[in-house]
Amino acid sequence: MPTLFDPTTAGDLRLSNRIVMAPLTRNRSPNAIPPDIAATYYAQRATAGLLISEATAISHQAQGYADVPGLYAPEQLTAWKKVTDAVHQAGGRIVTQLWHVGRVSHTELQPGNGAPVAPSAITANTRTVLFRDGVPTFTPTSQPRALELSELPGIVQAYAQAARNAVDVAGFDGVEIHGANGYLLDQFMKTGSNQRTDAYGGSIENRARLLLEVTRAVIDAVGSGRTGIRLSPVTTANDAFDANPQPLFEYVVRELAKLGLAYVHIIEGATGGPRELADRPFDYAALKKAYRDAGGKGAWMVNNGYDGELARKAVEAGADLVSFGRPYIANPDLVRRIHENAPLAELDKKTLYGGGAKGYIDYPTL
Ligand code: 8OZ
């Protein structure tokens, strides 16, 4: 029986253990360019089997928060290369998370101050982070406009180009498609945000179409062994809601199984909140079985609210990888702390979003 601390592989990625740093938005990238201290921040955490970068915009239109990084301009890629070099120097592996926020944005952040784009013109009941006098301020998202059918191929291509940029130029070991947390691809999949009547709305097959097209295009760009995906079947994040998530996500993972991904990353329950939701029941074992029965060979990564004990149990129950988000902020040596059953440091909420080195690269190791 493998343990959390045994090496493994996820597609083409060789990982020194099964503990993963989950993507964490930190809003420290003015002009969408990661700061120099991002190299220190990620390298400090390189003992994780795999680091997943903070969510990173695939285009200007894809951006929904102040000071989040991008993967579409040369200065951004040059800055990311410093990060990936530092992580590799420290013996780690790092993939980036490909992000299009869809309707979770604000006109202030959009090209030409236009409306954010979405499957349908339904405003999300959620807030984004803008800076007001340098202070991160939660602000309601703007009314979106529905994407034209003719715009969708361009969005698929933007994912593929960002993936190529990430691997070929910025030196990432791979990419994770952000299909979770109420952002664009999740908006298309779920009934609460998709009222389209074309080939991208209505049936499960239609609602899953954009996610699967993006996945195929990214695989064509960087290879299936370097491509992972993150899904959140029942999250409440960003007003996400689907009337019948079990058959939707079982269909999605059966289709993904045919594509040969490096890993499938599942947020169980409400992102950063309860793992079980009374009004949104979901059978994760059935989801994994649907993937394996359809021939899916990618690593199965579980997430949300794990501690060392729960993670050990998850691996015993057959999870291949366990990702930790918030615990990684204040515990750069989380692998060692879990291994030694050492106490975990608490993060400072005041320095979570925005700012500089404080609360970013100054959390000590044991
Ligand atoms: C917290 C704040 C802003 C963005 C996600 C990218 O939930 C995020 C995010 C999280 O996936």
Judge if the beta carbon of residue 65 lies within 6 A of ligand 1.
yes
Q: Which ligand 1 atom sits closest to the C-alpha of 55?
A: 6
Nearest partner of 217 among 157, 265, 279, judged by Cα: 157
Distance 135 CA to ligand 1 centre (A): 18
Quickly tell me which residue has 């060392």 as its tokens. 308
Say how many Å lie between the first and final Cα of the chain, rounded.
Answer: 28
Is the CB of residue 97 below 6 angstroms from any atom belonging to ligand 1? Answer: no
pLDDT, one tens digit per residue, over 176-193 is 999 999 999 999 999 999
CB of 72 closer than 8 Å to CB of 116: no
Given a contact cutoff of 8 angstroms between Cβ atoms, the answer to whether 176 and 95 are in contact is: yes
Q: Pick the atom of ligand 1 nearest to 230's CA.
A: 11
State which ligand 1 atom lies nearest to the alpha carbon of 178. Answer: 11
Prediction pTM value: 0.99
Shortest-distance Cα residue to atom 5 of ligand 1: 181
> Is the distance from CB of 126 to CB of 141 less than 8 angstroms?
yes
The CA distance from 94 to 175, in Å, is 9
Identify whether the C-beta of residue 105 lies closer than 8 Å to the C-beta of residue 116: yes
pLDDT of residue 248: 99
Where residue 57 falls among pLDDT bands split at 50, 70, 90? very high
Question: Could you tell me if the CB of 240 is within 6 A of ligand 1?
Answer: no
Confidence band (pLDDT; 50, 70, 90) for 210? Answer: very high
Q: Which residue has the tokens 């954009």?
A: 210
Rounded-to-integer distance, Cα 64 and Cα 359, Å: 23
> How confident is the model over 5-41, as pLDDT tens digits?
999 999 999 999 999 999 999 999 999 999 999 999 9
**Can you tell me the distance from the alpha carbon of 332 to that of 43, in angstroms, rounded to the nearest whole number?**
9
- The percent of the chain in helix, strand and coil, each rounded to the nearest 5, is 35, 20, 45
Per-residue pLDDT, 134: 86
Query: What tokens does 219 get?
Result: 């695989």
Say if CB 144 and CB 102 are below 8 A apart: yes
Residue 1 has pLDDT above 90, yes or no: no
* Per-residue pLDDT reduced to its tens digit, 266-287: 999 999 999 999 999 999 999 9
pLDDT at 181: 98
For residue 137, give the 3-state DSSP assignment. strand
**Residue 25 alpha carbon to ligand 1 centre in Å:** 5
* 21, 24, 25: residue to mutate for ligand 1 pocket, most atoms within 8 A of CB: 25
| pLDDT for position 71 | 98
Domains present along the chain, CATH in parentheses:
54-302 (3.20.20.70)
d(CA 319, CA 299): 8
Q: Is the CB of 141 under 6 A from ligand 1?
A: no
**What integer pLDDT is reported at residue 170 of this predicted model?**
99
Active site residues per annotation: 183
- Angle formed by the axes of helices 245-257 and 209-222, to 10°? 30
Mean pLDDT score of the chain: 98
> Which amino acid type is present at position 198?
D
- Mean pLDDT over residues 62-91, rounded? 98
Query: Is 181 a pocket residue for ligand 1 (Cβ < 6 Å)?
Result: yes
Burial of 178 (0-12, 13-18, 19+ CB in 10 A): buried
Q: Is the CB of 98 under 6 A from ligand 1?
A: no
